[in-house]
Amino acid sequence: MARAEAFLTTTAPLAGSNPYLMGNFRPVVEETVRTGPFTVEGAIPPDLNGLLLRNGPNPAVVQNSDTYHWFSGDGMLHGLELRDGALLGYRNRFVRTRMLADEIGTMSPRGPREAINGPANTNVISFANRILVLVESGLPHRMTPDLETVCVEDFDGTLASPMTAHPKIDPETGAMAAFGYDPFGPPYLRYHEITPEGKIVWTTAIDLPSCVMIHDAMVSATQIGFFDLPVGLDAELAMAGVALPFRFDPEGRSRVGLLDRGTPGERVQWLSVEPCYVFHVVNAFDDGADLVADLYCYDRTFDTGMGRLLGSALPRLERWRMSPTATAVHRTVLDDLPAEFPRIDDAMAGRPYAHGYATQIARRDGLDAFPGYVKINADHGTVARIDLPDHLQASEPIFVRASDGKTDEEGWLLAVEYDRTSDSSDLVIYDAHAFSAKPEARIHLPVRIPFGFHGAYLDAGHFN
Ligand SMILES: [Fe+2]
């Protein structure tokens, strides 16, 4: 029987009919530590020695349960430690942001002030010997492996504006390519090159005419491609206090900006693209002088207005080719099966790669649902798929290369699945090569992990 230790509890109100406060979108109200043994079906691969971290929205307080949106909840980290073929323990913690301090009186974090006291709910990464949680509306927060909040992170005073939740770390140099869009600009977009030790060496301001939401970027070893797509900051929604005041404009500016990563301040080359939106890039790489990116593209998203819920198309996998001699992006549909939360072997970031993995996405009763996984074959544009039984829902599959793995499919996929019948979650480990619906291991957790966004796997050597 797993042992439990409870810490902070909250009372997020669950009244009303907001779907993002129901089912596995609803928050958990307790911080807890559980230690094993846990019930395991199958066998946990013994070379998985590390810490799986996941981040996602988990509102401690819901100010208005009619208007609450999934993207705006407080960040909660979940940690699962694997060792020698066993799950040693689970813990969860709210990220101690100033927003949480304002809401429920937790200690405010040390570190620089931010323009907005927002949530830190989107991603978690390991960089420069730090664990950082990220959200695009603010600065990173530095965490301990025990999920305690250390401080707001500004890279020794070199970061002063919001930073993306999807920076890219070069697998060879350890340097980070990061950017941030800033509603309080101009500039509305900045691009930073950050040393492996965690210091911004230079920043290029990119002169956008207005603020648009930019969630991810296309980063190769030598180039970065910025999305300037028509999901813009909407003054009417902002004035009304909408938490995410962005709106899709089918007539709006829609283009991609290419910049050489080598030096600061070079001129951005703009290529047009049909109005659409991209949240996530699978991977990008150089092909001669061209930048090539595989990504999930929406015909429309954040299709909203005053008093209307967000509308969105479903995404499809596309390959975008951006040539310095072209005036427009060349688009090819690789696969129509809707999926999101793509992951690759991080060792292939910015390089030609063979495989990626993603979560199937569907709409059920107007809500996002996650019925399984896809495996992307970048060479052939084909996919394999895992379809889960109806009572289970998937999450972002994090690839961990096996200790003797030679390629980007010789490893494991780690995901958390929600089991509707028990209203609890499982840690599930798939063989990325076999990509079979029967996992190597399914570990039943005595807790529920709400649907979240992104996570990371830290090898034990990186945090002990
Ligand atoms: Fe994301």
Given a cut of 70, the residues of the chain with pLDDT beneath it are 1-7, 11-16, 305-310, 463-464
Nearest alpha-carbon partner for 409 in 332, 339, 353: 353
Residue pLDDT, tens place only, 116-150: 899 999 999 999 999 999 999 999 999 999 999 99
Question: For the domain that residue 314 is a member of, what is the CATH number?
Answer: 2.120.10.30
Task: List beta partners, residue 360.
Answer: 339
Q: Which helix (H) or strand (E) holds 177?
A: strand 176-181
Q: How far is the CA of 325 from the centre of ligand 1 (A)?
A: 30
Residues in the chain: 464
Residue 262 within a domain:
yes
- The Å distance, Cα 43 to ligand 1 centre, comes to 31
Is 310 a member of any domain?
yes
Total structural domains in the chain?
Answer: 1
Record the pTM: 0.95
Beta bridge partners of 232: 212, 247
Beta-carbon contacts of residue 403 (< 8 Å; ≥ 6 apart): 47
Gap from CA of 134 to ligand 1 centroid (Å):
10
CA 423 to ligand 1 center in whole angstroms: 25
Residue 193 lies in a domain: yes
Does residue 50 belong to any structural domain of this protein? no
Cα of 443 vs centre of ligand 1, distance in Å, is 26
**Residue 171 maps to a domain:** yes
CA dihedral 457, 175, 401, 339 (to 10 degrees): 70
Percent of the chain at pLDDT > 70 equals 95
Q: How far is the CA of 70 from the centre of ligand 1 (A)?
A: 13
CA 3 to ligand 1 center in whole angstroms: 33
- Ligand 1 centre and the CA of 1: distance in Å? 35
Cα separation, 242 vs 66, in Å, equals 11
Q: What is the pLDDT of residue 270?
A: 96
Q: What separation in Å is there between the alpha carbon of 84 and the centre of ligand 1? A: 31
Whole-angstrom distance, CA of residue 463 vs CA of residue 50: 8
Q: Give the distance (Å) from ligand 1 centre to CA of residue 2.
A: 32
Q: Is residue 66 part of a domain?
A: no
Quote the ligand 1 centre to 135 CA distance (angstroms): 9
Q: What is the DSSP letter of 239?
A: H
**Tokens 């909408």 sit on residue:** 242
Ligand 1 centroid – CA 454 distance (Å): 7
- Residue 452 pairs in a beta bridge with none
CB-neighbour burial class of residue 122 (10 A; exposed 0-12, middle 13-18, buried 19+)? buried
Element housing 155 (H / E): none
Between the CA of 277 and the centroid of ligand 1 the distance, in Å, is 13
So what's the pLDDT on residue 1? Answer: 46
Q: Which 8-state DSSP code applies to residue 238?
A: H
Range of the domain at 289: 98-462
Q: Is 20 within the bounds of a domain?
A: no
CA–CA–CA angle 167, 171, 173 (5° rounding): 95
If you measure from the C-alpha of residue 330 to the centroid of ligand 1, how many angstroms do you get, rounded to a whole number? Answer: 24
How far, in Å, from the CA of 224 to the mean position of ligand 1? Answer: 17
- Residue 337 maps to a domain: yes
Reported as a single tens digit per residue, the pLDDT across 177-223 is: 999 999 998 999 999 999 999 999 999 999 999 999 999 999 999 99
Distance CA 391, CA 388 (A): 8
How far does the centroid of ligand 1 lie from the alpha carbon of residue 75, in Å?
13
Ligand 1: centre distance to CA 425 (Å): 21
Look at residues 42, 131, 52 and name the one whose alpha carbon lies nearest to residue 95: 131
Q: What is the pLDDT of residues 256-276, one digit of tens each?
A: 999 999 877 778 999 999 999
